[in-house]
Structure 1
């Protein structure tokens, strides 16, 4: 995922405080989603993931729309297009798929998607909240730039499966045009979008690793 909450420059105390609060609240909300999904799967089965976390996740993800505004206003150093693309893809899932066709949420793919989303966001938001507070745990830093290797493919494949499976229910409901939109989205739009987001994160990782390598080399001199 893009670095949507990384400050562009040395932030003012007000801006810094706002970003710390925003990231801390978002991390807590996603941790709640993760706990609810894992609890539902462990105690009752994946069929109960949506009743346990679906609505809460929908509104938690809706809050992330603030990140487009953050990028647009220059509050954070994040590319607007990449930020919008990621937020829009999530909106398409929570509002256009699972909210419209809740029967799809009984599949294991829905639970795996939420686990991937929530884990990624807990790491990301916690990382930024602590970094902005002047503290950067090494373990969290490592997770921020390595966990996506597993979490991204898991989340993206789960999302694509749900969109694909929504084509049939949309046609059955008489939403013929919508079914073609979904089909076109998962076949034509999703692959390049996923590639752009994944390679963006790879680029971010290379930059961070390069800085760390330079710092380590300087420290050993």
Structure 2
């Protein structure tokens, strides 16, 4: 996700809270990535679900706080964009993989999705830890933040779409309306993904312009 940095004139309490939140989130997503990386050679890429599903579901649920951050102005992030990003991931962990593991648990797309998510979030949260803690961001971390999304975002989106598609049949066995709803989700993913992708590209352009001026 591409949440914007905190406002520069926030209170000490707000800055301390945001620093703690970002540090904790960076550690949690590092743990998710570590679990996936360790499980793949041990059980195979199609069998990581059982070792990480519960953990990643609750780690991702913590991101609901970011909607609150945007809504109350703690960070300079568009509320709609933040809401779309958080909602799409919550759909995956609570509405797709959790109720329909028989169709999604053994898909390589599950591991691919988690790798894309966790690498993205480790970079993003670490970036904000440095920004909030010292204001000095290592150049390599800045480069990773504004360039890796070119690969990680398409990887994550394609894996998410595949998992939603895989859940349609078992969802239809429960209720056809659920299946139709998932087809609608896939239809929304195309314009929604484009909106988020162009948002991240715009962030990159602003960051690169700022870096050139600083140089």
Distance, in Å, in 1 between the alignment partners of 2:149 and 2:201 is 9
Distance, in Å, in 1 between the alignment partners of 2:188 and 2:7 is 30
Instruction: State the Cα distance separating 1:57 from its structure 2 match.
Output: 0.4
Q: What's the counterpart of residue 34 of structure 1? A: 33
Q: What's the counterpart of residue 213 of structure 2? A: 214
Q: What's the counterpart of residue 65 of structure 2? A: 66
What are the ranges of 5 or more consecutive residues in structure 2 without an aligned counterpart? none
Query: TM-score scaled by structure 2?
Result: 0.96
What are the ranges of 5 or more consecutive residues in structure 1 without an aligned counterpart? 217-221
1:164 to 2:168 alignment = no
Deviations along 1:9-68, one digit per CA (max 9) or x if unpaired, are: 322221111111000000000000001111111111123211111110000000000000
Q: What's the counterpart of residue 107 of structure 2? A: 107
Distance, in Å, in 2 between the alignment partners of 1:45 and 1:68 is 35
- CA RMSD, 1 decimal: 1.0
Q: What's the counterpart of residue 149 of structure 1? A: 150
1:118 to 2:91 alignment = no
* Number of corresponding residues: 213
**Segments ≥4 residues shifted beyond 3 Å:** none
144-153 or 129-138: which moved more?
129-138
Deviations along 1:147-187, one digit per CA (max 9) or x if unpaired, are: 10100000000000100111111123x2211001001110x
Q: What's the counterpart of residue 88 of structure 2? A: 89
Distance, in Å, in 1 between the alignment partners of 2:72 and 2:115 is 31
1:192 to 2:187 alignment = no
Distance, in Å, in 1 between the alignment partners of 2:21 and 2:34 is 20
Instruction: State the Cα distance separating 1:85 from its structure 2 match.
Output: 0.4
Distance, in Å, in 2 between the alignment partners of 1:80 and 1:185 is 20
12-21 or 117-126: which moved more?
12-21
